[in-house]
Amino acid sequence: MAAARTLALAAATLLALSLSLSQTGCPPARAQRRSDVPLADLLQLIVRPRELLAIDGSRGSQRVERLEKGERITWHATRGRVGVVLTDRRVLAVATGSASWQEERFRSAESRPRNAALGDRLALVTTSQRAIGFDGGSGNLVTSSLGPRESQVELAIGENVGVIVTDRRALGLSPFVGGFFAASLSPGERIEGLSAVSNVATLTTSQRLLIFRSEFGSWEERQLGLRD
């Protein structure tokens, strides 16, 4: 009898909870993944006359990068775990936990970018010749050369995902899987929309929907229905 009363009480409790949820319209809470939550700024940059100092707020460590003679800083910023400095000669990037600053030198005929796009764990820089990405997970800079007459069309960055779209392809960057991941675009395929939020970026074209998931470093394609 006691066991039966216990089961009945448990069933009544579950029923009451179900009714309460249905009335309030609130679904059960879902635990957020750590990568879904925007980070506080954990990196501080200090610009000195002849050097850069990155202070890692998560570990208390410091990373120093010496500037070259005559080198001029044109832009710098931090967000979350990453920091980027642009000079008239190179891209400099650092992340929390990095052993050292990373650099990518500009080519002689390459246009210099005015700024960079930063997420919590990654960064994107574009020039007339290359797409440059910083993967804050591994602390590495990665590049992808643009083809002859290939030009950037759109760029979007979220906390943990970034996408550069040219007139020929889309390049996805993830801090969880290293390198750029490309999805080719067809001739005449028009770009209609690009967004990047948290770990997912979506690219809408005149022909399809492309979804880039940073956790896997992969593109997913969905065909759009016929339009009037």
- pLDDT tens per residue across span 148-196: 999 999 999 999 999 999 999 999 999 999 899 999 999 999 999 999 9
β-strand partners of 156: 163
pLDDT at 139: 94
- DSSP characters over 185-209: --TT--EEEEEEETTEEEEEESSEE
pLDDT tens, position by position, 43-59: 999 999 999 999 998 88
Please identify which residue in the block is written with the tokens 């910023």.
Answer: 77
Confidence band, pLDDT 50/70/90 cuts, at residue 35: low
Provide the percentage of residues in the chain whose pLDDT is more than 70. Answer: 81
Average pLDDT over residues 187-206: 96
Of 141, 223, 139, 155, the C-alpha closest to 189 is 223
Of 14-28, 72-86, 97-111, 199-213, the least confident: 14-28
Which tokens in the block code for residue 17?
């909870």
Per-domain residue ranges for the chain? 39-223
Confidence of residue 1 (pLDDT cuts 50, 70, 90): very low
3 has a pLDDT exceeding 80: no
Average pLDDT, whole number, for the chain? 86
pTM for this one? 0.81
Name the CA dihedral angle for 170, 175, 177, 180, rounded to a multiple of 10 degrees.
30
Q: What is the pLDDT of residue 60?
A: 81
Query: pLDDT value at position 36?
Result: 53
Q: DSSP alpha helices (H): ranges in 38-169?
A: none
Q: Please name the amino acid found at residue 4.
A: A
- What's the whole-number mean pLDDT along residues 64-73? 97
- CA 23 to chain CA mean position, Å: 38
Q: Residue 6: pLDDT above 90?
A: no
